[in-house]
Structure 1
Amino acid sequence: MSRNRQSVPNRSTDPLDYQRVPRAVAAMPKDFASGFEVLPHVHERAQLIYATAGTMRVSTDDGMWMVPPQRALWMPAGVRHSIIMLSDLTMRTLYLREDAAAFMPEVCRVLPVSALLRELIVRATELPLDYDEKGPAGHVVALIIAELRGLQSLPLQLPMPSDPKLRALCQALLAAPGDSRTLGEWAATLNASARTLARHFQSETGLSFGAWRQQARVLEAMGRLGSGAPVTQVALDLGYDSVSAFSAMFRRAAGTSPSAYRHRP
Structure 2
Amino acid sequence: PLNWDFLYVKDPTLESKPYEFGKLDDIILKVNKSNALFPGWWTFKAQSPNYLLHSNTKLLKQGEWTHTSFITGESTKIKTQVNYSSEIPTNVASTGVNLTIFDPEGQQWYSEVKSPLTNGSVFFSEIYFDALNTTGGQYEYTLFWSNGTALGGIKSNFVVNHQSEISMLKPDDAKIGLRTEGFVGDIIPVRIILTDPENNLSISDARVSYNWTGGSTYNFTEAAIGVYETILDTADLASRGLYEILISSSKLGFLESNLT
User: Normalising to structure 2: TM-score of the pair?
Assistant: 0.22
Higher helix share: 1
**Which structure would you say has the larger Rg?**
2
Higher strand share: 2
User: Normalising to structure 1: TM-score of the pair?
Assistant: 0.22
